[in-house]
Structure 1
Amino acid sequence: MPTPFRHALAALLLSTALGTPFTFAADVAGVHFDDHAAVAGSDTVLNGAGLRTRFMLKVYAIGLYGPKRADTVETFAAVPGPKRIQIVTLRELTAEQFADALLDGIRKNTSDAEFTRLQPRADEFRAQLLALKSTPSGSQIRIEWLPASGTRLSVGNEVRGRDIPGEDFFRALLRIWLGEKPVDGELRNALLGKA
């Protein structure tokens, strides 16, 4: 039995024996995602990570963190507690490109009535993104659900704008990548740990 396989098997057996879930870190296009992240003082686990490409160009690496792993958007969204969408850009994007892509993803994955309810908060989130002007390659963007206050946008370690209330807004953001019409089907599977 090859040595790396033996080590992985031993780690899996040990985690099972100790009653702890087997977690993993991920490297995506040179970007490392830790297997755990602290969000609002709570421990979260990496649900999955993947690469967003467009016209064969690498756009960003993305990781999804939550209180526990889930393989459907409904299950992931329903678990109470803080969550994080962590994005690292792999090329420079204008803030307008990034904001418009996110808003387009929300529109594609919500009904007209739901989008009407979300519109004021979506516009506020878009304004927060536009204030960035651009996102150079290597920018670290975090979109976090904080149960006590709402959806928080951070770039690097700097919070941008106020927290946007309503878990329905964060769930709409999740559906950009995990909904019925995700930006990329393979990326959706990677974030749900199915890749």
Structure 2
Amino acid sequence: MKNLLVLIIALVTVNVSMAQTQVGSVTLPNTLSFGGDDLVLNGAGIRKKAMILKLYSGGLYLTKKSSDAKSIMNADETMAIRLVITSSFVSSDAMKEAVEEGFDASMGGDTSSLNTEIQKFIKFFNDEIVEDDTFDITYQKGKGVVAYKNGKELGTISGMKFKRALFGIWMGNDPVDSKLKKAMLGN
């Protein structure tokens, strides 16, 4: 009987640990659901600055795994990027500045066609940001980009052009962090 109990505890522990992925100091779930779609963790990594400062752990969630950044950016399918803040250096102002720089890089320096949408998105980061805050940046098919902070919906921005530019921050030709891009693509 004692051996059976030990076996059951071991199996439950293995199942629980397999349902999560450790990324630095952060544990990301292997699955998420948004817009009625179940998503799987495609890959995850750590956003670093100056090679030593770990800003956040991030994971890319898709309906099915893919290592093709361009097809991910262009897909009209539900997907998400989860960012878990791991540094006190990530303030509201720093995040807004990073998002602006990310859009600039994603769009080759010309953000004028999406300026209204970008400014609306940047306002999602107005409230104080602290360590362990979790942002889910999702694209929900038929709805648009829906952003969440700690599970609370911040707002929605429609349009595939905006979605491509937004996901291009991480998946584009000039990503915010090339090592993070590779990790999110499962490489």
TM range (shorter): 0.7 to 0.9
Query: Following TM superposition, by how much is the alpha carbon of 1:106 offset from its aligned partner in structure 2, in angstroms?
Result: 1.1
**In 1, Cα distance between equivalents of 2:105 and 2:74:** 21
Q: Which runs of 4+ in 1 moved over 2 A?
A: 23-26, 77-81
The 5-angstrom pairing of residues 134-173 of structure 1 reads: 134-160=128-154, 162-173=155-166
Distance 1:129 1:84 in 2: 17
2:30 maps to 1:35: yes
Query: What is aligned with 1:186?
Result: 179
RCO (CA 8 Å, sep 6+): is it higher in 1 or 2? Answer: 2
Distance (whole Å) between structure 2 residues aligned to residue 143 and residue 58 of structure 1:
20
Tell me, yes or no, if the aligned pair for 2:46 and 2:54 is still in contact at 8 Å.
yes
Give distance in 2, aligned partners of 1:30 and 1:87: 13
* CA–CA separation in structure 2 for the residues paired with 1:108 and 1:35: 29
Q: How many Å separate the matches in 2 of 1:169 and 1:78?
A: 11
CA distance in structure 2 between the aligned counterparts of 1:24 and 1:49, rounded to whole angstroms? 14
Deviations 1:77-102 (A, max 9, x none): 34442111100000122211101101
Which of 79, 104, 118 matches 1:107? 104
CA distance in 1, matches of 2:32, 2:122: 26
Q: What is the alpha-carbon distance in structure 2 between the residues aligned to residue 191 and residue 123 of structure 1?
A: 26
Alpha-carbon contact 1:24-1:46 (below 8 Å) kept: no
Determine the structure 1 residue equivalent to 2:66: 70
- Per the normalisation by structure 1, the TM-score is 0.80
Does the CA contact (< 8 Å) of 1:88 and 1:140 recur in 2?
yes
Q: Report 1:6-25 matches (<5 A).
A: 25=20
CA distance in 2, matches of 1:111, 1:91: 28
1:150 deviates by 1.2
How many percent identity over aligned positions? 25
Count of matched residue pairs: 168
Q: Distance in 2 between matches of 1:52 and 1:31?
A: 12
- Equivalent position amino acid for 2:24 in 1: A
Letter in 2 for 1:94: S
Unaligned runs of 5+ in 2: 1-17
Give 1:180 shift. 1.0
Question: Compared with structure 1, are the counterparts of its residues 80 and 24 closer, same or farther at alpha carbon in structure 2 (3 Å cutoff)?
Answer: farther
AA of the residue aligned to 1:187: L
Q: Give me the whole-angstrom Cα distance separating, in 1, the residues matched to 2:159 and 2:96.
A: 19
> What does the per-residue CA deviation read over 1:43-93, in whole Å, with 9 as the maximum and x for residues that have no partner?
111111000011211100000001111112112234442111100000122
Question: What TM-score does the superposition give when structure 2 sets the normalisation length?
Answer: 0.83
Q: Distance in 2 between matches of 1:49 and 1:109?
A: 20
- 1:25 to partner: Cα distance: 4.4
Residues 35 and 46, structure 1, Cα contact 8 Å, conserved in 2: yes
Q: Which residue of 1 aligns with 2:91?
A: 94
